[in-house]
Structure 1
Amino acid sequence: GIMALSVVTAYWKTLAILETIEFAKILVAYLLIIGLVNSERRMGAFVWIYLVLIGWTAGSSLWGFFSGANRGFAMGIDRARGLALAWGHPNSLAMTLLAAVPFLYLLIPVERRRPARLVLILIFALSLLTIMYTGSRAGMLGVLVAAVALWWRTGRRPAMFVGITVALLCAALLMPYQYQMRMVSILDYQQDPSSLGRIDSWISGLHMFLDRPLLGVGPGNFGIAHGLAYSSPWRPSWLEAHSIYIQLPAELGLVGLVWFAGILFVVARVNRKTRQMLVAGGNVWSWHYRLAVALDISLVVLLFTGLFGHNLYRPTYYFIAGMSVALAYIVRQVAAGGPASAQNSAQGMSNKRWEVT
């Protein structure tokens, strides 16, 4: 509804309508998750399908990179690209894989089947390796944020902190030289054309918001507005926002800000209540609890990387929202002995299966 309203003030209304239609497809997927993932068995299957697809995405991207079939060159480095349109860009590929890292890290320890655990470990390794080869600075910083968040949420054990620190240092030292230089360029942004271009886009985005504070310049219209009205007519810049915190107010205005903040608040609140129910039932660090924590951390990582990427309409946000609502429903039903509990019982499922031993 908010996006449809913003069409009224959009610079290019056709583009805004098309963006709204594309986003409507994401909402349909969100509703399907809520409606269909309504039992423990279905949730387990859904998570497995998601992680296997992440593994395929990482593996196919690495294969394309090393074979040369799908390798890009930008910002002075070779970059891995995704095969699918939605995450073909190196940065989009990195964010897609990064969102799955908390799920993999937290669910590997409670997977009792050895072959399945090895598959998850392989997917985890492929995902981290692919993120590095995308050359995405936001992606690599996101790995650091994910590591800190996982350490913080899993007891803040000194040994784990030392292990994470050593692992990150080793990864930085073993990283190919071109990617090391790519990361170091963050510290010298004044000499980096990419960083300077982003700063220019951020300033333009603030002007867009000030000019159209209520509904913004329209969904998907940042680049068009930037080129037509917010850059030099002799040297127009069509660069996108490269920050969700600029894209959101610039494209959807104050109304969009309130809408998105509301989504984040509801998701965080739902996950918090889910964890509280699990703790009350004695299921601390069960599979369900770990999944709720993974959803929280994945959202935090996305919001952090959103500082450097215009990912407002990325499906991952709404995937996390749908998973959070579905998980909350399942946990409530199991606790109350409702339909989800009865279905699980009929299928031979029990909460104990996923508990840490």
Structure 2
Amino acid sequence: MLYVMAGSLFLLIVRPYEVYEILGDMRIEFIYGLFTLLCFIVSKKKRIFNSPIVNWLLLFLVVMCISSVTALQPEHAFDATFKYFKICLVFFIMMWALYEYGDYRRIIEFFVLITILYVLWSLWEFMQGRYRWSMGLTRLMGRDVTYGHPNTFASTIATLFPFVVALLRAGLTKKIYKWILLGFIPVGIACVLLTGSRGGFVQLLFLCILFAFARKGKIRTLIILLVGLFIGWYMLPENLQNRFYSLVDPSVAPNAESAHSSAEGRIDGLLHGIDLFMDNPLLGVGPDNTIYTFGDAMGYEAHNLYGQVLGELGFLGTLTFFMAIALCSIQAVRNCKNAKRYLAAWGQSPYAEEYRKQFDFVYKVNVASGQCLLLLLFAGNFGHNLFKYNWLFIAYVVVCGRIILKSVTKEIAQSNG
């Protein structure tokens, strides 16, 4: 199932069927989805277990389905719900099929490497003349349609960095992966800057703070990161410098009026979502139906996670979504504490060499999950990332991390017994 799920991640992240019309006409996503489901059904290793996080995510899906019935545009809402269901299905199958340490480690590596491939492909296309012109800038964008907007693309890169760092610290299954990840760090930062996304730039700053306070030499690490950032700043062309400096002084932006209205749009998105919530408190206006609520200005997005979930899914959607996120956060912290405790307890035992790496890997990727969650919640202030696959990937990491820790400690106890 490992390589089957790697294929599913490739289709989910790279989305070649949105680029090549022939793949779309062949319905490659649908065919491969059926193949994945069949492989899961016949797999002898599958283990469908109960988890509070999975339960809340399933409830969130149920709320989306009910909200779609009462939506302003039910057909559009059901389409958005079905797309999210397909993403959920990929990660639920991952949870129930790839819960052993070896598969867990490899699929996380595959997730990172596939995302890097997606970024590099998009960068190559940008160098060949494919870009988005907006805000008075030539902006790097993702190669696909669904997640290709420069702001979304910048966020995709930023949320990958915690796992890149975690894998470098924990060690990788192949040496070549190390050089790929090391090379990606400066390339990834450059890609975020080339998107011209002020939200992406702020996420990089936020990451610097998260990385600094995750290490012992906090002040020294923060200074090094900021010095590196300032060096990168002075290597940028003037129009990009002005674009990012417009966070402080909107008048210097290449297109000052658009930049100012864009910033105000994030606040308006939150306030508009609250207004929609007050009018439709229980179920909202329906998944992805915010675009139908701006009157003559139809097509505008929420541009704010909190306004999006309140306005589109109401109280029930907000409750189920944030309960799942809260449980992911709690479980990530527990996994980190337990992994450290087990390392301290058995670090010098005869079984240390065999199990130390497993404890250490689970600890580091769960730290990365916590950092990624904070980053996604922070990015939600200026982006509508409610239906992004990253939330579900984090759920997979923390849920299966807990299973691995329990499994390893049980093995140690049996060996000692």
Please indicate, yes or no, whether the TM-score normalized by the shorter chain is above 0.5: yes
CA contact (8 A) 2:286 2:312 kept: yes
**CA distance in structure 2 between the partners assigned to 1:53 and 1:125 by the alignment:** 17
Look up the equivalent residue of 1:153 and give its one-letter code.
A
Q: Against the structure 1 CA distance between its residues 279 and 197, is the aligned structure 2 distance closer, same or farther, given a 3 Å change threshold?
A: closer
2:383 equivalent in structure 1: 309
**CA distance in structure 1 between the partners assigned to 2:190 and 2:409 by the alignment:** 40
**CA distance in structure 1 between the partners assigned to 2:330 and 2:180 by the alignment:** 32
Report the aligned-residue RMSD: 2.1
TM-score using structure 1 length: 0.87
CA contact (8 A) 2:284 2:311 kept: yes
1:205 equivalent in structure 2: 273
Q: 1:295 aligns with which of 357, 366, 369?
A: 369
Q: Quick one: higher RCO (CA 8 Å, sep 6+), 1 or 2?
A: 1
**CA distance in structure 1 between the partners assigned to 2:190 and 2:297 by the alignment:** 37
Q: 2:262 aligns with which of 178, 194, 198?
A: 194
Other structure's SS at 2:293 match: helix
Deviation at 1:237, TM superposition (A): 4.4
1:32 equivalent in structure 2: 93
Structure-to-structure mapping, 1:321-336, within 5 angstroms: 321-336=395-410
TM-score using structure 2 length: 0.75
Other structure's SS at 2:133 match: strand
Other structure's SS at 2:132 match: strand
**CA distance in structure 1 between the partners assigned to 2:392 and 2:169 by the alignment:** 26
Structure-to-structure mapping, 1:268-283, within 5 angstroms: 268-282=329-343
**CA distance in structure 2 between the partners assigned to 1:188 and 1:260 by the alignment:** 36
Q: 1:168 aligns with which of 224, 229, 239?
A: 229
CA contact (8 A) 2:272 2:307 kept: no
Q: Cα deviations across residues 263-284 of structure 1 (Å, max 9, x unaligned)?
A: 1111011111211211111169
CA contact (8 A) 1:61 1:130 kept: no
Other structure's SS at 1:73 match: strand
**CA distance in structure 2 between the partners assigned to 1:295 and 1:201 by the alignment:** 27
Q: Against the structure 1 CA distance between its residues 186 and 237, is the aligned structure 2 distance closer, same or farther, given a 3 Å change threshold?
A: farther
- Alignment partner of 1:128 is 2:189: yes
Deviation at 1:149, TM superposition (A): 0.8
Q: 1:141 aligns with which of 202, 206, 227?
A: 202
2:17 equivalent in structure 1: none
Q: 1:85 aligns with which of 130, 134, 145?
A: 145
CA contact (8 A) 2:215 2:221 kept: no
1:253 equivalent in structure 2: 314
Deviation at 1:300, TM superposition (A): 0.7
**CA distance in structure 1 between the partners assigned to 2:146 and 2:131 by the alignment:** 17
CA contact (8 A) 1:208 1:216 kept: yes
Deviation at 1:189, TM superposition (A): 5.1
Q: Against the structure 1 CA distance between its residues 278 and 212, is the aligned structure 2 distance closer, same or farther, given a 3 Å change threshold?
A: same
The alignment-based identity, stated in percent, is: 26
2:134 equivalent in structure 1: 74
Q: Cα deviations across residues 176-214 of structure 1 (Å, max 9, x unaligned)?
A: 222211112223459423223444433322211111111
Look up the equivalent residue of 1:183 and give its one-letter code.
F
Moved more, 150-159 or 39-48: 150-159
Structure-to-structure mapping, 1:211-230, within 5 angstroms: 211-227=279-295
1:57 equivalent in structure 2: 118
1:351 equivalent in structure 2: none
